[in-house]
């Protein structure tokens, strides 16, 4: 799993996704340890693990659901009461943060994520390993194959009521809960947000590759390893969003809170990460351009896009790998390029460049 795309991508970011994966693993280990002998010191450690995980990412609550399901499958409510109390106390900080989450949701901070589609669920485990599955039937088949192997491995692990069942639930339940929420309406399903399931999915994947004959198992493991290495090398060969370098270049170019950024690239990849790295307390959002009050806009063009705007900058343009950063005069011609090249204008709501938010 160290070669998995989500781990490689988020291992160096300011955002806490790598920490989230570590805390999810620590919670499951602590839960198993406390269940062996539910003394007050062990239950206290469980409370700390839950509290820390809950303040890392709200998807951690889905891993907690898996842990509670495991406890109830082992001994029912009576035998797990002390552990359940420890978990409930640990969830208090997350509950206290819930109003902030509701505010984020009402202000459509999740609106950039796509609407529900079944392939997004089926591809989830493959997307934890590979940056971008091939389009068409080949990619769909690969995603479905990885999903099926993880399910098979989880079924095999389930037969062990201890660690195996706990691992199976931690691999499957968060995905099912997130997919159910996504189906109901909130656009919260995102592979990086499910990185906490990846360590357990890796174990389930290994269990699913065990075949009746040893030489077949070795062959299957070898094929899986080659695919992981291939995906890792392909991912490193593509344009990796260096958010910190892009943000530093924007500030050096003269960007200040309140200025707008014209982005030519994946808005899903750049909007929230740039919001983390750039200074200022106001959130960046996708906005519609205002008809007045905006004289200059900053450009972030990924992979050679919008050359009609970036080429005239010449040596004045700043670069981060294949990402060009600069500033241009805002006007009808810029707006026309934005629409033809499918650009996105991102800014704080109070920006002079912002009209009505999309």
DSSP state of 4: S
Residue 333 has pLDDT above 60, yes or no: yes
What whole-number distance in Å separates Cα of residue 51 and Cα of residue 20? Answer: 12
Residue 76 has pLDDT above 80, yes or no: no
Query: Which residues have C-beta within 8 Å of that of residue 323, sequence separation ≥ 6?
Result: 239, 241, 242, 245, 246, 265, 300, 301, 302, 303
Is the separation of the CB atoms in 347 and 261 below 8 Å?
A: yes
Residue 237 confidence (pLDDT): 54
What whole-number distance in Å separates Cα of residue 51 and Cα of residue 93? Answer: 6
Residue 356 has pLDDT above 70, yes or no: no
Q: How confident is the model at residue 185 (pLDDT cuts 50, 70, 90)?
A: confident
Residue 284, CA distances (Å) to 33, 52, 107, 272 in order: 43, 27, 12, 7
Query: Which residues have C-beta within 8 Å of that of residue 231, sequence separation ≥ 6?
Result: 3, 5, 129, 130, 131
Question: In terms of pLDDT, which residue wins out, 346 or 2?
Answer: 346
The chain-wide mean pLDDT, for the chain, equals: 87
Residue 111 confidence (pLDDT): 63
Please list the alpha-helical segments (H only) found in 39-195.
40-54, 60-79, 81-90, 92-106, 118-122, 124-129, 137-158, 163-184
Residue 115 confidence (pLDDT): 80
Is the separation of the CB atoms in 346 and 274 below 8 Å?
A: yes
Q: In a 3-state reduction of DSSP, which class is residue 24?
A: helix
Q: How confident is the model at residue 14 (pLDDT cuts 50, 70, 90)?
A: low
Q: Which residues of 28-44 are buried (b: 16+ CB within 10 A; e: fewer)?
A: bebbeebbeebeeebbe
Query: Any idea how long the chain is?
Result: 358
Angle between helix axes 17-36 and 60-79 (nearest 10 degrees) is 10
Q: How confident is the model at residue 130 (pLDDT cuts 50, 70, 90)?
A: confident
Residue 23, token pair as written in the block: 């805390």
Residue 134 confidence (pLDDT): 72
Residue 228, CA distances (Å) to 56, 71, 199 in order: 28, 34, 15
Angle between helix axes 243-253 and 267-277 (nearest 10 degrees) is 60
Residue 229 confidence (pLDDT): 83
Residue 19, token pair as written in the block: 């920490």
Edge-first strand order for the sheet with 296-302 is: 318-320, 323-329, 296-302, 261-264, 344-347, 285-289, 354-357
Query: Which residues have C-beta within 8 Å of that of residue 307, sequence separation ≥ 6?
Result: 301
Q: How confident is the model at residue 357 (pLDDT cuts 50, 70, 90)?
A: very low
Residue 251 has pLDDT above 50, yes or no: yes
The pTM assigned to this predicted structure is 0.73
Average pLDDT over residues 227-244: 72
Residue 66 has pLDDT above 90, yes or no: yes
């Amino acid at each position: 799993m160290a070669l998995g795309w989500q781990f490689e991508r988020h291992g160096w970011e300011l955002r806490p996704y790598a920490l989230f994966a570590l805390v999810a693993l620590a919670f499951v280990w602590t839960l198993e340890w406390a269940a062996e002998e539910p003394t007050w010191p062990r239950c206290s450690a469980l409370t700390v693990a839950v509290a820390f995980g809950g303040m890392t990412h709200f998807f951690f609550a889905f891993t907690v659901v898996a842990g509670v399901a495991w406890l109830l499958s082992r001994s029912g409510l009576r035998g797990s009461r002390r552990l359940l109390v420890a978990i409930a106390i640990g969830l208090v900080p997350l509950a206290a943060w819930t109003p902030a989450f509701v505010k984020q949701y009402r202000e459509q901070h999740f609106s950039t994520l796509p609407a529900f589609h079944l392939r997004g669920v089926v591809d989830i485990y493959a997307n934890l390993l590979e940056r971008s599955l091939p389009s068409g039937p080949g990619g769909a088949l690969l995603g479905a194959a990885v999903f099926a192997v993880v399910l098979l491995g989880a079924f095999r692990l389930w037969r062990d009521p201890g660690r195996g069942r706990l691992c199976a639930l931690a691999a499957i339940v968060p995905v099912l809960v997130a997919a159910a929420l996504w189906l109901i309406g909130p656009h919260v399903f995102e592979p990086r947000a499910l990185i906490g399931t990846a360590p357990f999915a890796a174990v389930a994947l290994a269990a699913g590759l065990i075949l009746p004959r040893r030489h077949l198992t070795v062959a299957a493991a070898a094929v899986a390893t080659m695919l992981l290495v291939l995906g890792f090398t392909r991912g490193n060969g593509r344009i990796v969003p260096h958010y910190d370098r892009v943000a530093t270049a924007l500030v050096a170019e003269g960007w200040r809170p309140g200025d707008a950024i014209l982005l030519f690239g994946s808005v899903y990849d750049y909007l929230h990460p740039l919001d983390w790295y750039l200074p200022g307390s106001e959130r960046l959002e996708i906005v519609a351009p205002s008809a007045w009050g905006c004289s200059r806009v900053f450009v972030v063009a990924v992979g050679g896009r919008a050359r009609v705007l970036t080429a005239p900058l010449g040596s004045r343009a700043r670069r981060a790998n294949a990402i060009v950063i600069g500033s241009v005069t805002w006007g009808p011609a810029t707006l026309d390029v934005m629409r033809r090249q499918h650009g996105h204008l991102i800014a704080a709501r109070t920006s002079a460049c912002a009209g009505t938010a999309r």
